[in-house]
Copies of this chain bind each other. A is one copy, B any other.
Amino acid sequence: MYAAGDVRVETVADPTIQQPTDAIVRVTQACICGSDLHPYHSMQASEQGSPMGHELIGIVEEIGAAVTTLKVGDFVIAPFAFQDNTCVFCREGVQTSCIHGGFYGSPEIGGLQAELARIPQADGSLVVVPGVDAAALGRGENAQLAASLLTLSDVYLTGYHAAHMGRVEAGKTVTVIGDGAVGLSAVLAAKQLGAERIILMGRHTSRTDLGVEFGATDVVAERGDDGIGKVMDLTNGEGSHVVLEAVGHMPAYEQAYGIVRPGGVISRVGVPQYEDAPIGFGSLFGKNVTLTGGPAPVRAYMEPAIQQVLNGDINPGRVFDRTIGIDEVPAGYAAMDAREALKVLVQM
């Protein structure tokens, strides 16, 4: 990406092992994230540009000398952040704060919307998927399996993180704000965690219809005060035990504290496009509301989620509604930005 709205596909030098802990992965499927749209709207023009993408599945092509848990040919998922998965914060389940970790997309680290990718801290940053015929993935009925595995790189497990941190459990009323791919993933995760009632706030019928298939029991199309009033009506005037905020803009946060119940939880996974916001007596404190969330440490949730996908218990890949080749990536950004596509898969 060279500027807001300016995405180009370029042939660059193949990535190489730079550290003995690196691996090179041949990408089979990558995708475009809702968070990629933030720079797509606001990036200052840059001569150097930024490599894009932070989600992939693929096949290990080469490993550094210090890599011990991977071998060439392994089929892997890359969590959207890299981490050693051994430091004190990783051990505490906050891999996105790994002392030796970081995020893709800088010129030094590179991006994952690419045919080949360098993965730092490969032992911690790649998770092997057992027993999958990688050569067949992406074709026929395997295309849906590939899509679901790819969501574990970010979008489904980001929704899961929201629900997990929000302490969703049986008997709880959960409201999800946002009908993007993360919001719909949060609906699916809330259903997995046993939520009794799931209210989805979103106004794009094609998306909220998928939300209903994922487990939403109610859909609220209204926003702002009207949306708050509707959720309060649906909850007997009491509010929602848990609110999963999957947007990141201030109006979504304001909606969240408007509908959360006393003693409830707001769990945010939409990257906040604000720094200061109301948290005093009138918003959070007076009602004993808990605010939680952040960048999802998807590595922490990966193994059981892989099993759920392989078993067919969940099918989170349904959030992809368009598949393109790498040359079409600029058009993929435009389609997501125009909301013509919910989430775009890049088949290499």
Contacts and interface: CB of A to CB of B under 8 A. Distances in A.
Interface stretch (A124-132, A206-214, A276-284, A306-314): A276-284
A263 B295 CA distance: 11
A134 interface: no
A262 B292 contact: no
Given A92-B263, A94-B262, A263-B97, A294 B283 contact: no
A284 B294 contact: yes
Contacts of A69: none
Interface in A265-284: 268, 271-272, 274-284
A285 B268 contact: yes
A49 interface: no
Interface string A245-279: 00000000000000001110000100110111111
Contacts of A88: 238
Indicate the size class of the contact surface on chain A: 35 or more
Nearest to A281: B272
Contact of A294 (B96, B286, B297): B286
A93 B263 CA distance: 8
Interface in A282-318: 282-295, 297
Interface of A: 88-89, 92-94, 96-97, 165, 238, 261-263, 268, 271-272, 274-295, 297
9 contacts: A94-B287, A272-B285, A276-B276, A276-B280, A279-B279, A284-B291, A288-B294, A288-B295, A289-B292
